[in-house]
Amino acid sequence: MDDEFNVTYLTLVGYVELDRYRYFLVFMMFIVYILTVFFSLIIVCLIWIHKNLHEPMYIFIAALLVNSIAYCTAMYPELLMNFLSEKQIISYSACLLQCFLFYTLCASDFFLLAAMAYDRYVSICKPLQYPVIMTKTIVSIMLGLAWLVPACQVAVPIILSANMKICHVILNAVFCNNSIFGLYCGTSKTRDILVIIALVSMSVCPFLFILFTYTRILVIAYRSCKEVRRKAAQTCLPHVIVLFSFSFLCAYDIITDQLDLQSHLRSIMILQSFLYFPLLHPVIYGLNMKEITKHLKKLFCRTKAI
């Protein structure tokens, strides 16, 4: 076998640009990781324990938080170790796995946000039909597809890439994202087509679907009474904030890689998906949802009493 095919380790050079901020970033990421996992687990446990939270809206929130925990656990330990290491290297197989987990879990976020948007649409626009439409079976199918479809769509291009010849071992990134496609000697039309299909179906389509459902909600809420408008704003605004911030970070990652931009700004912007974004889910969905907040207050008051 040629040496070119026997590449074991890749060097991540994105850390060079951030070396002066190394300890600050390690501190911030460690705090975000601990807080995200801690608060997400508390909210998931509350939803699991209390029967009045066994509704589709709260089930989707729990699924989104579980996805955040999986995302953080898949990405943070490796990032923290690389920031604290003198040499930032990763094996080729581990890089492929990290790339797969990153895009699968990110896409699952889009699908879960789309499921939540549909749930809110049915709840506000078709309240009488809500129990018939949002059954346990439908909710289970939506949750299964939210994880299964992204995993299958991301896995195929990754598997095709694994058998391609590598000409470079330098990765201009802080983790294994779509920059990995620049390592190969040639291109694969089949893989490129599958990547485009996956990009459209896993991000563009859910994004447009969410915009459509929220637009319909706002139109109907505007024509309804004040109470309906208040409910629509209270339930939809957090989803919109998460959607646009998450979409912006994903779009920035894809666009900058296609333009091959190399700067401090690129690395810092990509790290935003690790520095604060994971905390948005437990903060927004935990503190903004009235029923969850009520149970959180009871939990902490009981803890203080003990």
pTM tops 0.75, yes or no: yes
Q: Quick one: tokens of 133? A: 């439409």
**pLDDT (0 to 100) of residue 255:** 63
| DSSP class per residue in 31-63 | HHHHHHHHHHHHHHHHHHH-GGG-SHHHHHHHH
Q: Are 28 and 83 in contact (CB under 8 A)?
A: no
Q: What is the dihedral of CA 45, 47, 51, 57, to 10 degrees?
A: -160
| DSSP class per residue in 133-149 | HS-HHHHHHHHHHHHHH
Q: Are 5 and 248 in contact (CB under 8 A)?
A: no
Residue ranges of the chain with per-residue pLDDT less than 70: 1-7, 227-229, 231-235, 249-276, 286-288, 300, 302-306
Domain range for residue 267?
A: 3-305
| pLDDT tens-digit map of 174-210 | 888 877 888 888 777 888 888 888 888 888 888 889 8
Q: In whole angstroms, what is the distance from residue 40 CA to residue 34 CA?
A: 10
Q: Quick one: tokens of 292? A: 């969850």
**pLDDT (0 to 100) of residue 5:** 45
| Number of independent structural domains in the chain | 1
CATH code, domain carrying 84: 1.20.1070.10
**pLDDT (0 to 100) of residue 1:** 38
**pLDDT (0 to 100) of residue 287:** 65
**pLDDT (0 to 100) of residue 66:** 93
**pLDDT (0 to 100) of residue 199:** 83
